[in-house]
Amino acid sequence: MTFDVNAFLIILTGTLIAISCGLLGSFLILRNMAMIGDAISHAVLPGIVLAFFFSGQREGIAIIIGAGLLGILATIIIDYLSNKVKLQNDASIGVTFTWLFAIGIILITVFAGQIDLDQDCVLYGEIAYIPLDLIVTENNTILGPRVLWIAVINVILVLLYVGFMYKELKLTSFDRQFAQTIGFSTSFINLSLMGMVSYTTVSSFEAVGAILVLALLVVPPATAYLLTKKLKPMLLLTILIGFLTSLIGYYLAYFIDGSIAGAMASVSGLFLLVAIVYVTLQKRTSRKPIAMPTELKA
């Protein structure tokens, strides 16, 4: 196979997005908040559409702010419903995000023709068109694909966030009460994580769509979580799986001529399946000799 610049750009963008999502997703699943990730990835839609409509442009800070606000609003509504209204937690999540997502879809249909956004883009993004959409400066220098730059900025910010907040995130994820006791503001850390998840969702939205972001948020970290017991290896493994997902996903989509984002989600699922099978088999073979004496004692 010869070196294909387009393929390289798409895989690179996919990898960067998978890394941003995976790093944040690791903390989500450690905090048992995977479905909050689902809720946020659906709920940012109306923010994107409205910001798009009012600012009239696809790129730019307006969309990120609009969607970020909606993401945080969604977590606040969920929190309000389950703590103040006393609706059970899973239903609070379900009610909130389906409602916000429905608003988003209705807005897209109402504004159809006025904005360059459609239902397909919402569902699976347009990562395949990345190489066509270039940033060109005034003196005609081509700076490379716009969406790639967005992904680069996103991944830098996520790395900075995780780097600076590593201790806080780790402690609040594993021992919330202890973290509170020694004076960490758990609600601030939580809200900042939700803010980063919302921002990453939006930033990845154009490339992979609102729903498949969830696959990148949850599946590679879940795979890594099964294979290791320490946080740092888990994060590194997540990054590796993110890269492989992007690479193999691209060629799968290429060969069966389908959506790259869909293929990436499918491949990440395959990795998870392999990890599950591996772990269960290992448990079965290692269990017998160790488990016997403790059972006898009991």
Asked if 201 and 67 count as a contact pair (C-beta separation under 8 A), the reply is yes
Contacts of 138 (CB under 8 A, 6+ apart): none
Both tokens assigned to 111: 């504004």
**Shortest Cβ 38–other proteins spacing (Å):** 5
Closer residue to other proteins (CB): 62 or 265: 265
If one asks whether residue 10 binds other proteins (CB under 8 A), the answer comes out as no
**Beta partners for 142?**
136
Rg (CA), the chain: 21
Cα 64 to chain center, whole Å? 15
Q: Which residues in the 264-283 window bind other proteins by CB under 8 A?
A: 264-266, 268-269, 272, 276, 279-280, 283
Minimum distance from residue 140 beta carbon to other proteins (Å): 34
CA angle 166, 182, 235 (to 5 degrees): 20
Please report how close the Cβ of residue 143 comes to other proteins at its closest, in angstroms.
Answer: 29
Helix axes 34-55, 186-227, angle to 10 degrees: 120
Q: Choose which of 53, 65, 94, 115 interacts with other proteins (CB under 8 A).
A: 94
Query: Which residues ranging from 29 to 88 are in contact with other proteins (CB under 8 A)?
Result: 29, 32-35, 37-38, 81, 84-88
> Of 173-232, which residues contact other proteins (CB under 8 A)?
209, 211-212, 214-215, 217-219, 222, 225-226
Helix (H) or strand (E) holding 131: none
User: Over 227-246, what HEC string results?
Assistant: HCCCHHHHHHHHHHHHHHHH
Pick the binder of other proteins from 11, 150, 248, 261 (CB under 8 A): 261
Stretch that binds other proteins, among 66-74, 132-140, 156-164, 256-264 (CB under 8 A): 256-264
CA distance 140 to 158: 31
Counting contacts by CB under 8 A, is residue 256 touching other proteins? yes
CA distance 27 to 41: 16
Residue 99 binds other proteins (CB under 8 A):
yes
Site residues, other proteins (CB under 8 A): 29, 32-35, 37-38, 81, 84-88, 90-91, 93-95, 98-99, 101-103, 105-106, 109, 112, 119, 123-124, 209, 211-212, 214-215, 217-219, 222, 225-226, 252-253, 256-259, 261-266, 268-269, 272, 276, 279-280, 283
